[in-house]
Amino acid sequence: MAVEVARGMLAAECPDTRWRVAVDCLEDLGATAVIGARVDRHRRIPLRFRATLRPSVLRSYEREEMWRHDTIVRHVATRADAMIWRTARPFDPDDPLAGPFGAFVRDSGERAIACFSAPDGRHRRSLTFCSTLPAREVLAPGNLRRLGIAARLLLPWIDWPEVCTGPDFLDTGRETLTRREGETLRLLASGLQNARIADTMGISEATVAKHLRNAHHKLRARTREEAVARAIEDGRIDPDRTTPE
C-alpha cells in the first residue's frame, strides 16, 4: 500500500489530483464518502473542508452550520487518537455522536465513521472515512487496521488549492483576505489608527476603512479587536511583525 500511495502522490501535479488519489484509496477500503479538513485547534472549527458527501448533505451541513458543532472536528482539535464510530442500536447515551450532530449523521445515512488526524503547524489536518455499508464489514479489525495505515500514509499529502471552489468544498467562513486587507489588519494590530495606516500604505482613509470592513466580514468579527485576534489565530497576519516602524 505504501508504494502505491507514494507512486500516486508523487505523480500528482496539484492538490486536486492528490485529493483524488486519497479518495480512491479509501473508497477501495469501503468508503462511500471521504472528508478532508484542516482544523483550528483553538476555535474547534474546520478552516478548510473538502468532502465527497452527497451535495444535499454537504449543503445541509453548511446551511445548518453543523460545522460549528461537529463532534468529529472537536475530537480532532482536542485529541490525537483516531475516532471510530458505528451506528448504535438501541440508542447509546455514551455514544460520542449523541445529540443533534449525531442525529444529523444518522439522517445522512452513515453507518460507520473512522477519523484520523495529524499535526499541521498550529492546527491539525484530518481524513474521515464514512460509509453507508454495514459497520461490521468496513470496521472489522483487519479492515480498520488497513484504514489506519492508509490514512497515516495519505495525511501528509493532503493540502488545498489557494482558492477553494467547486461542489466538494465547503465555505465555513474562512474567505481569503487580499494582500491589502491583511496588511491593513497588520498595521491596525501594531496600534496605528486609520490616518497613519493610510499614510503608511499610501492610500486614502476611505480605502483603509473599506479594507477593514471587508476583513471584518470575511473573519465574521464584530469589532476591530476581534478581527485582529482572529487573523492572528488563523495565521493570516504575523504577530511578530506588528511593531510600527
Q: Where are the domains of the chain?
A: 2-157, 179-241
Mean residue pLDDT of the chain comes to: 87
- Residue-wise pLDDT tens digits, 190-239: 889 999 999 999 999 999 999 998 888 777 787 888 888 878 876 678 76
Q: What are the start-end ranges of the E strands in the chain?
A: 33-40, 45-51, 83-86, 112-120, 123-131
Name the nearest CA neighbour of 134 among 87, 90, 96, 98: 87
User: Which CATH number applies to 2-157?
Assistant: 3.30.450.80
- Res 244: pLDDT: 44
Q: Provide the pLDDT confidence category of residue 163 given band limits of 50, 70 and 90.
A: low
Which comes out higher in pLDDT, residue 195 or 168? 195
CATH fold for the domain made of 179-241? Arc Repressor Mutant, subunit A (1.10.10)
Lay out the sheet containing 45-51: strands in order across.
45-51, 33-40, 123-131, 112-120, 83-86
Window from 16-20, 30-34, 157-161, 206-210 with minimum mean pLDDT: 157-161
Residue-level pLDDT at 243? 45
pTM above 0.75, yes or no: no
Note the Cα 144 to chain centre separation in Å.
23
| Residue of 245, 143, 140 lying closest to 186 (CA atoms) | 245
Q: Please report the pLDDT score of residue 242 as a whole number.
A: 46
What does the DSSP 8-state code read for residue 88? -
212/208 Cα distance (integer angstroms): 6
Q: Yes or no: say if 70 and 172 are a contact pair by the CB < 8 Å rule.
A: no
Give yes or no for a contact between 127 and 36, defined as CB atoms under 8 angstroms apart.
yes
Task: Determine whether 111 is exposed, middle or buried from the number of CB atoms within 10 Å of its CB (0-12, 13-18, 19+).
Answer: buried
What are the φ and ψ backbone dihedral angles of 99, each rounded to 5 degrees? 105, -170
Q: Which residues are paired to 131 by β-bridges?
A: 112
